[in-house]
Structure 1
Amino acid sequence: MNRQPLRLAIMEAMRILEAAGVSSPRTDAELIAAHVLGVERGRLPLVPLVDPAVVDAIGQMVAQRAKRVPLQHLVGWAALGDITVDVGPGVFVPRPETELLLEWGLKLLKGREYPVVVDLCTGSGALALAVAHARPDAVVYAVDIDPTALAWARHNAELRAAAGDSRIRLYSGDISDSAMFAELDGLVDLVLCNPPYVPEGTWVPPEVAEHDPAHAVFAEESGLAVIRHAVTVAARLLRPGGGLAIEHDDTHVAAVPSLVRARRVLTDVEDHPDLTGRPRFVTALRG
């Protein structure tokens, strides 16, 4: 059996993915190869030759990716912070942009013992679980309205607990409900929220349009409907000095900070760019 250069298989994968319009052909080709080989991406140069069966397996995954099936669905996981969570059909795939929101939240918690954290619209549970991993002393609550998303979140929570992380407290609920988490009013150190925020009718890539749940991507009122509720909830839950971070669409650079400033108890309102420099999330403190 003639072994073949892995480098050539990756180059061919890049060519196919680039022709298919995939935005990061090299990254995706290398991650697919690493997944098939069961090694970290950085160790690919240590695998110069592979069997034809490996080349075939890479080719099959590349063909699926070229059909714009999300890479995370193909490999079965997505990363956020220092953890990975399982993802697949029916749940929103965490994005790298949310790393910066997570970093802001963890920085706010430095020096606070046993902080209380709430993750609104938790989806796969990635944000809540990343906080619980970074801060084992935190009490982390997470809520979502979608039963499928909650099933993924429960699955991921069990996996993280088995790995030794603290358990999070998962709830089914609608953040427009004024009674939700009423027992936490004025007691929360950090509220995080990555809600559906893309204005309805906006073009999105096939990976999003065909695979992410629409209700986890799009929102009414030009994308602001769920964000409005999140701001209201945060103003109620946060203790003085507590912090809020909400992700938003890049068209919301003026609208979301204005919504937050309208709640007079929220101060130090600041908008932050994502990894590409686009406006992506707003933060505030409870006065």
Structure 2
Amino acid sequence: MSDRRELLRAATGRLREAGVASPEHDAAELLAHVLGTTRAGLVLVDDVPEVAAGEYAALVGRRAGREPLQHLTGVAFFRYVELAVGPGVFVPRPETELLAGWAVEVAPQGGVAIDLCTGSGAVAKALADERPDLEVHAVELDEPAYAWAERNLAGTGVDLRQGDFATVFDDLLGTVDVVTCNPPYIPLEAWESVAPEARDHDPHLALFSGADGLDAIRVLERRAAELLRPGGVLGFEHADVQGESAPGVLAGTGRWADVRDHEDLAGRARYTTARLAR
């Protein structure tokens, strides 16, 4: 048997040395995963069986190698829903919960919502969970990511399609109330600055978007304008350094009113919202 406190202390140190941003949290999450409990439930554990300790050491080693925590546990939590995630799909970030929350609040009763570039299906699933009155649609191009979204959205009532967000949903043109999107927005030249967890494990299709990181947002602006009814709203995430350039894509077209940028909980520019001019 191994002492739980000693295991956590050693794992936390190893993860900290490897540059993991949240070593204490991740060490505890991995041990809880191995033991089939929660982080809170670890306080009830004194001794860890050697087999479990060996499994834990292997997972800590992989996390020190910067594999995403969620790939190791197979689960990501997003607002009030649980998502299955793993290799081949972008792991949803807590920051994106703000965009989903905005959509939950602004969507009209019985309205139509579309989540473009849905990835794991996180935003679409949150909308279906919190606003069962909505008609929710989602699309993902990448085949492996689509398979994860299909798994996560099964039984939710969400209309999930595989295709290019620039061309899909022709049957809904001019009828949509809310469009959300977490598009790729990292400039190609920023490759080296991207955290290894994302750069080495998230699909590049979900990360990089041209020289300035705005190529997908330009496409999104045009497609959202076609999908939305007059007065419908668009919300999309962007990089923290794009707090002016991202909303500028919309403001420069003359098609949008009430263009606003919003900060995340850390005070960083995070997502843009706008209303299609009537």
TM range (shorter): over 0.9
Q: 1:210 aligns with which of 189, 200, 204?
A: 200
User: Which residue, 10, 20, 23 being the options, matches 2:21?
Assistant: 23
Matches within 5 A, 1:14-53: 14-53=12-51
Contact (CA 8 Å) 2:120, 2:148: kept in 1 or not? yes
CA shift, 1:230, in A, is 0.9
The Cα offsets for residues 43-99 of structure 1, whole Å up to 9 and x where unpaired, read as 221223322222222111101101111111100121211112111111111111101
The residue number in structure 2 matching 1:124 is 120
Deviation at 1:108, TM superposition (A): 0.9
Shift of 1:42: 2.1
Which of 244, 247, 250 lines up with 1:257 in the alignment? Answer: 247
User: Which runs of no fewer than 5 residues in structure 2 stay unpaired?
Assistant: none
Tell me which residue corresponds to 1:282. 272
SS in structure 1 at match of 2:164: coil
2:124 maps to amino acid: A
**177, 193, 196: which one aligns with 1:189:** 177
In 2: Cα distance, 1:267 partner to 1:62 partner: 49
Tell me how far 1:35 sits from its aligned partner: 0.7
Gaps of 5+ in 1: none
Give me the CA root mean square deviation. 1.5
Counterpart AA for 1:121: C
| Counterpart for residue 146 of structure 1 | 142
| TM-score in terms of structure 1 length | 0.91
Measure the CA separation in 1 of the matches of 2:6 and 2:230: 58
Q: Which residue of 2 is the match for residue 69 of structure 1?
A: 67
1:184-214 CA distances to partner (integer Å, 9 max, x unpaired)? 2222121110011100021211111211111
Kindly report which structure 2 residues correspond to 1:171-250, keeping only aligned pairs within 5 A, or say none: 171-177=161-167, 180-202=168-190, 203-250=193-240
Question: Partner residue of 2:158?
Answer: 168
* Aligned 8 A contact 2:111 2:133 in 1: yes
C-alpha distance in structure 1 between counterparts of 2:38 and 2:141, whole Å: 35
Percent identical across equivalent pairs? Answer: 44
CA contact (8 A) 2:189 2:211 kept: no
Aligned partners of 1:246 and 1:280: how far apart in 2? 9
CA-to-aligned-CA distance 1:156-198 (integer Å, 9 cap, x gap): 222xx2xxxx321111222233xx3232222212111001110
Q: Please state whether the residue corresponding to 2:67 is helix, strand or coil.
A: coil
Distance of 1:184 and 1:262 partners within structure 2: 25
1:154 Cα deviation after fit: 0.9
Shift of 1:221: 3.8
